[in-house]
Amino acid sequence: MCRPTLKMLLLSAVLAFPATALAVAPDLGPSSPATQAQITALQQAVKDAQAASAAAQSTGDNAWMLVSAALVLLMTGPGLALFYGGLVRKKNILATMMQSFAMMGLVTIIWAIAGYSLAFGEGNWFIGGLQHLFLRGVGLSPNPNYGPTIPEQTFMVYQLMFAIITPALITGAFAERMKFSAMAVFLSLWSLAVYSPMAHMVWGIGGLLNATGGRFPSLDFAGGTVVHVTSGVSALVTCIYLGKRIGYPQTNMPPHSMVLSFIGACLLWVGWFGFNAGSALGASSLATSAFINTHFAAAAAALGWTVAEWIHNGKPTALGAISGCVAGLVAITPASGFVQPFAALAIGLVAGAVCSFMVFEVKSRLGYDDSLDAFGVHGAGGTLGALLTGLFATRAINAAFGKDAPTGAIDGHWGQILNQLTGVGIAWGISIVGTLVLLFVVDKVIGLRVSPEQEWEGLDLSQHGEEGYDFNT
Amino acid sequence: MLKIEAILQPSKLDAVKDALLEAGIEGMTILEARGHGRQKGHTEFYRGREYTVDLLPKVKIELVVNDEMKEKTVQAIIGAARTGRIGDGKIFVSRVDDAIRIRNDERGETAL
């Protein structure tokens, strides 16, 4: 062994010190019990913080979702009730409002019993299952497929509000001439036969058109195809099957109260924030995107229709402005959580112009009596919106197909437009077939249309024994 | 006794009522009416189509007065309602067989 140098002595001393210190103070060792206890405590604290953060996120998400559900219900009652009610003649105001209100009652019960299960239960490509009949198994803990941070019942009740408004939209096509009883039966069956399957295909787990894992992944953020195309096309079928109102088109039948329609339209605009931004299923930045897109499209479309009308007629009407805003809201519905704000402006502008053309020119040329323009606005607007979604959807807003995958055409994925077309085509198909079958059956069993005397007298008196306005008392 | 029916522009109602009160006539019936004479209607738009509304809002005043009051009443109405333009309105005068006060069964001119 070599003679210890001064360096070695110093080195030993330096090394000896911590060794001695460790030997003297055992609490500072990496495997000591105290350190282990601290580590365990820290791990628990991290877990607690994560749980608290998740709970806070859940609280925020659930709060927004419950508000959204309330906003969507507001769209039906009184939004749509007023919008449609003001557009019909005075003698039919109550009957028109009753049709929307009846949906609020009937569809709720149908949804709770079977509608939700058929739409969102696990089944096949086309329809869900019966596992959630009477809402069995739908509890207060989240369903990871449908809003992982909110109770499944929140999701269920939110979707219910969509199921309510969709058939209510159809009533616009057969306004002023359908029996209340027949309408109630027809639309209740429609909700199960057309709405639930369509909702399943687009949003249900395992659905044919589901953006995640579907055979033809369709981008429909808040219901462009599920709500607007189905209701709009079904409306067209119904108004053709039922026939025109007595005196149409020779007799002019202007709205009896544009004031009511105006109020209804504004309620629809505000309520639509729940419809679109709520479809983010949480209070996230995606909800912010959808909120902004919704608003921008409504504004741009109101402008688009107004300008088109100003050129066409020489005067901008209030009816045109509010119809335009609704058309924009319809068109942005499928796109709301996928596009940039300026794409939303473009979509709105185009929807306002195109839907006004549908209503001014196409309807009068083809001669069908779509009384309140359910097809012209919802059917046409929804179809247009679905296709424009394929064009403008971008992963910058929503990486729907994966973090690095393109979403829509502007990302380079032009095939998405074909997928959108497929979804729209299926919506058209199921709406036409389902509606025709149901109309035929209900007509044979109950009879769909009121008698000419009842139509002349007005549905308020003939169907409900009431008058909407009595200024003589 | 004479019945005087005047169809007027709604905007002239207040002026005519004041003029009649000043002329000493207190009883009148006022009805809301729609109609037109030579005055054309206006156009409105509904869903891109233009249509004419030719049933225009009017006001109708009905009075029953003594025979002697006829000219005074007519002049009161004309003075308050005339603008010189088409649409000013018309006055019709007809005979009334009897007038009865419901409260106390008074008949004839004293019931007016």
Assign residue B24 the CATH number of its domain: 3.30.70.120
Reported as a pLDDT band with limits 50, 70 and 90, residue B51 is confident
Reported as a pLDDT band with limits 50, 70 and 90, residue A464 is very high
Residue bearing tokens 């009161």: B76
Structural domain contains residue A19: no
Percent of chain A at pLDDT exceeding 90: 88
Structural domain contains residue A289: yes
Find the domain containing B42 and state its range: 2-111
Structural domain contains residue A52: yes
On the question of pLDDT at A6 being above 90, the answer is no
Chain B residues near residue A376 by CB distance under 8 angstroms: none
Query: What backbone phi and psi angles, to 5 degrees, belong to A375?
Result: -75, -45
How many Å lie between the alpha carbon of A327 and the closest alpha carbon of chain B?
A: 14
Cα B73 from Cα B79, distance rounded (Å): 10
Q: pLDDT tens for residues A151-189? A: 999 999 999 999 999 999 999 999 999 999 999 999 999
pTM of the model: 0.88
* Residue B44 contacts A where some CB pair is shorter than 8 Å: yes
Cα A220 from Cα A207, distance rounded (Å): 13
Cα A159 from Cα A393, distance rounded (Å): 23
What is residue A471's predicted lDDT score, i.e. its pLDDT?
85
- Nearest 5°: CA angle at A253, between A251 and A258? 160
Structural domain contains residue A38: no
Query: What backbone phi and psi angles, to 5 degrees, belong to A272?
Result: -65, -20
* Residue B45 contacts A where some CB pair is shorter than 8 Å: yes
How many Å lie between the alpha carbon of A313 and the closest alpha carbon of chain B?
A: 6
Angstrom CA distances, B47 to A202, A299, A317, A384, A461, stand at 34, 20, 9, 21, 27
What is residue A13's predicted lDDT score, i.e. its pLDDT?
59
Q: Which residue has the higher pLDDT, A25 or A146?
A: A146
Angle between helix axes A341-357 and A285-313 (nearest 10 degrees) is 30
| Partner B, chain A 368-397, Cβ-Cβ below 8 Å | 373
3-state DSSP assignment of residue B96: coil
Residues A82-95, mean pLDDT to the nearest whole number: 98
Chain B residues near residue A364 by CB distance under 8 angstroms: 48-49
Asked if B91 contacts B79 with a C-beta cutoff of 8 angstroms, the reply is: no
Structural domain contains residue A336: yes
* Residue B47 contacts A where some CB pair is shorter than 8 Å: yes
What is residue A18's predicted lDDT score, i.e. its pLDDT?
53
- Total number of domains in chain A: 1
Q: pLDDT tens for residues A366-406? A: 999 999 999 999 999 999 999 999 999 999 999 999 998 99
* Residue B95 contacts A where some CB pair is shorter than 8 Å: no
- Total number of domains in chain B: 1
On the question of pLDDT at A27 being above 90, the answer is no
Assign residue A204 the CATH number of its domain: 1.10.3430.10
Cα A337 from Cα A132, distance rounded (Å): 28
* Residue A248 contacts B where some CB pair is shorter than 8 Å: no
Find the domain containing A348 and state its range: 46-464
Does the distance separating the beta carbons of B46 and A319 come in below 8 Å?
A: yes
